[in-house]
Amino acid sequence: MEEAHGDWYCLPFGSPKIQELATKYGVSGIPALIIIKADGKEVTKNGRGDVTFDFCRRIAQESLQNWRFQSKNPKAALSAWKSA
């Protein structure tokens, strides 16, 4: 999991700063992803929702592209249907 995290800063489990930051930024549960600048100013409290929305939008765009391709190419559509 750590290798997928990249160089984003995070607090280790059990850190005493967790409660302080949870209070400051209004975190009431997990998972939570709040994006803040280096100076502590909040960018968004909805980081988790933003990531989820962007992921879903990307999947939807890929599906639409695939459907467009298949609707222009009936043989490809039939082949995809048979292999499903």
Residue-wise pLDDT for 42-77, tens only, equals 888 888 888 888 778 888 788 777 777 766 666 766
Q: How far apart are CA 73 and CA 67, in angstroms?
A: 10
Residue-wise pLDDT for 16-44, tens only, equals 998 898 898 888 888 888 888 888 888 88
For residue 42, the surrounding DSSP H or E stretch is strand 42-44
Look over the chain and give the mean of its residue pLDDT values, rounded to a whole number: 79
Q: How far apart are CA 46 and CA 34, in angstroms?
A: 6
Residue 25's pLDDT is what?
87
Q: How confident is the model at residue 15 (pLDDT cuts 50, 70, 90)?
A: very high
